[in-house]
């Protein structure tokens, strides 16, 4: 399941983030890649320890906490600190699958159920740079406005196509969901959306909304791994 989450960051927040990131010292992205990924990875990346990365990362995590669509789609249990990359001058990242387990700075391991890319440059600012995600329904090309986020299963084969003009700056991160199974997460997400839509049409206190809300929470209780 891929979910486009618009306006995670406002235009003002995006501008603030970019101003900070442009002051940072970027390095070769291969330094943080595993053996397989290093063969197809060609970009610039900001060190997780960089103060600019930590400051912008905190802003992003705070914004996500205020984004109901993200919470509904991801049901996040653990969210890794946002990282940042830049593609320019023909740089690209060939097809790969993200690592299944990543380690936080405190040594705690996190299972990567979901991957996210938050775009910090508008599509008109660069050519190429599409995030291409392969799933059971085919190939999907994603290039979103600055401030928008795409959420997708970490198990997906994906790539970033070469940037042939300008620069593509984005944040990327992973999370462990409270619900491990993708099919179960999809059902819960669709049910939650339906309950919210019915609540707007009939009123949150309508008997059908109350019963369906109960079904949602009882399924979540059955499937949650927290």
How far apart (Å, rounded) are the C-alpha atoms in residues 195 and 190?
A: 9
Alpha helices in the chain (DSSP H): 11-22, 35-38, 51-65, 68-74, 182-202, 207-223
Q: Is 168 annotated as a binding residue?
A: yes
Which tokens is 184 given? 């179960």
Flag whether 158 is marked binding.
yes
Q: What is the DSSP letter of 17?
A: H
Contact 197, 137 (CB under 8 A): no
In this structure, what token pair is assigned to residue 206? 């309508």
Q: Which residues, 6 or more positions from 125, have their beta carbon under 8 angstroms from its beta carbon?
A: 166, 167, 168
Q: Which helix (H) or strand (E) holds 160?
A: strand 157-160
Query: Which helix (H) or strand (E) covers residue 110, if one does?
Result: strand 109-111
Q: Which residue from 49, 6, 47, 46 is spatially nearest to 169, judged by alpha carbons?
A: 46
* H or E element at residue 46: strand 44-46
Annotation: binding site for Fe cation: 96, 98, 158
Annotation: binding site: 96, 98, 158, 168
Annotation: binding site for 2-oxoglutarate: 168
């Amino acid at each position: 399941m891929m979910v486009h989450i618009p306006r995670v960051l406002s235009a003002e927040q995006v501008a603030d983030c970019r101003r900070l990131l442009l002051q940072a010292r970027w390095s070769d992205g291969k330094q943080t890649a595993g053996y397989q990924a290093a063969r197809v990875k060609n970009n610039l990346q900001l060190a997780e320890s960089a103060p600019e990365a930590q400051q912008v990362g905190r802003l992003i995590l705070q914004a996500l906490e205020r984004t109901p669509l993200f919470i509904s789609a991801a049901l996040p249990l653990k969210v890794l600190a946002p990282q940042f990359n830049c593609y320019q001058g023909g740089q690209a990242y060939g097809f790969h699958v993200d690592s299944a387990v990543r380690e936080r700075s405190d040594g705690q391991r996190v299972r990567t159920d979901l991957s996210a890319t938050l775009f910090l440059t508008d599509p008109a600012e660069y050519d190429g740079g599409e995030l291409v995600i392969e799933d059971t329904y085919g190939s999907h090309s994603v290039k979103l406005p600055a401030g928008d986020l795409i959420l997708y299963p970490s198990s997906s084969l994906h790539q970033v196509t070469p940037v042939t003009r300008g620069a593509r700056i984005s944040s990327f991160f992973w999370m462990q969901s409270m619900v491990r199974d993708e099919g179960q997460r999809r059902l819960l997400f669709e049910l939650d959306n339906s309950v919210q839509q019915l609540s707007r049409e009939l009123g949150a206190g309508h008997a059908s909304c109350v019963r369906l809300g109960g079904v949602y929470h009882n399924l979540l209780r059955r499937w949650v791994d927290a």
